[in-house]
Amino acid sequence: MPLFEEGLVSLSQKLHSKEIKASDLVDEAFTRIHDVDGDVQAFLTLNEEAAREEAKAIDENGSAEDAILSGMPIGIKDNMVTKGLKTTCASHILENYDPLYDATVVEKVKAQKAITIGKLNMDEFAMGSSTETSSFAITKNPWDLERVPGGSSGGSAAAVAAGEVLFALGTDTGGSIRQPSAFCGVVGMKPTYGRVSRYGLVAFASSLDQAGPITRTVEDNAYLLETISGLDRHDSTSADLAVPHYAAALTGDIKGLRVAVPKEYLGEGIDELVKANIRAAIKQLESLGAVVDEVSLPHSKYAVPAYYIIASSEASANLARFDGVRYGVRAETNDLIDMYNKSRSEGFGDEVKRRIMLGTFALSSGYYDAYYKKAQQVRTLIKQDFEKVFKDHDIIVGPTTPTTAFKIGENIDDPLTMYANDLLTIPVNLAGIPAISLPCGLADGLPVGLQMIGRPFGEETLYRAAHAYEQTAGFTLTPAKGAMNK
């Protein structure tokens, strides 16, 4: 059995008992990458020489018993800065950027002696839902190489699903961890805003972005989130709250758990096979002792337009720094203003330009109140909808995505259809609350994602419910075709 089909706890125990070596794990990662990544194209940059040196040092010197991530191969989404390892955000404008420091989340996994295998592909500057807007490659879904892996963390989800790494870090601005996790049949957690430091994460939308873990199992996810969470003096938005031992919450007991199912999440626009899998998952939760009620989140239908105004406005401000002066691509010209224009025109792709223009318009004089202010008011109403439901319920359950993975090229020329793919994930980011996606079955041979949404800083409850479901659902999702048959 491939080592990556085992869980983190099992592998860590074998490593400490010297049944396996860190070098074995790293060898497996690179062997798998060399075998399948020519098809999947999850990685943009590999860290092979340094990774093998780190593994050798762990084999020679050992590591602390409580360092559960020690020796474990991990992939990093390419919008998290990594010292000495190129960080591009999948954009030509940063194609040669070599950071001088590590993002806080990268520091934290390195402190545990996890081994960075490489940087993972993504939609350019995390703007997209399919990883098709990357300037360098289109990542393929390991379940079907003709389909997208989702986005923007498509490289992260595909690498885990294809067995190239044990787990990966992604980011979620409007569903960019959960949606690709659903499409690729893996587990992805979007933490509460502030639970994980954003320092060293190249900003897209500062009030929405959150880093989080993508793994094969709920238990592995819990360990990885615990590692990367916590207060950071470099990030004023990080929460000064104790980080729970999330794995301790995995008791399997959810008797009496109050589960809300929004009628809007199983209504028009949701694929019938997706609905069938979600209803079966809800019945499974009921069989475990959960109490299920139908509820309403009436303002969720306004989430997509509100999100794209807010996110694009913040992107317009954040991406102003990429001007060809300090770092990144610089156009050759003798005129300063012309250099700004050409550098940005040549460096940014179409989707990034589209969102910069939309955001600049929404923030402009005469339109700010009509668009940006109104979107923020809608955001408040969406947050209040969640607060009302959580007065009487512990978690909210529904599908992660309206459909399974769509074909490459099918929606890329239709921005409105692409934006609608985030219909069920965006409200969570607007409210700043946590949510996890985990596989709950297949529809026409493709994974379906079950989304569980929790109260602010309620990740423990989400892990408890997700793990109980995972352990009793009675299936294990493994890609049956595509790159995985090699």
Tokens at residue 347, please? Answer: 């460096």
CB atoms within 10 A of CB 119: 25
Nearest alpha-carbon partner for 448 in 475, 430, 471 = 475
Dist CA 164 CA 148 (whole Å): 17
Which H or E element spans position 211? strand 210-215
State which amino acid sits at residue 112: Q
263 is catalytic: no
Burial pattern 42-64, b for ≥16 Cβ within 10 A else e, equals bbbbbbeeebbebbeebbeebbe
Side chain identity at residue 455, one-letter code = R
The dihedral through the CA atoms of 67, 68, 74, 78 has a sign that is negative
- Among 130, 134, 153, 176, the active-site one is 176
Range list of β-strands (E), 51-196:
73-77, 115-120, 167-172, 187-190
Name the residue among 261, 291, 296 with its Cα closest to residue 279: 261
- Which two structure tokens, joined as six digits, stand for 374? 């109104």
Q: Is 77 a catalytic residue?
A: yes
DSSP state of 329: -
**E-strand stretches of 370-445:** 395-399, 435-443
Of the residues 77, 113, 190, 275, only one is catalytic, namely 77
- Options 129, 130, 152, 316, the catalytic residue: 152
Question: Who contacts 169 (Cβ-Cβ below 8 Å, separation ≥6)?
Answer: 74, 75, 76, 77, 80, 105, 106, 109, 156, 211, 212, 213, 214, 224, 228
Taking each helix axis from N to C end, the angle separating 272-287 and 459-472, rounded to the nearest 10 degrees, works out to 100
Residues in the chain: 486
Query: Which positions ≥6 away from 299 have C-beta within 8 Å?
Result: 378, 381, 382, 385
Active site residues: 77, 152, 176
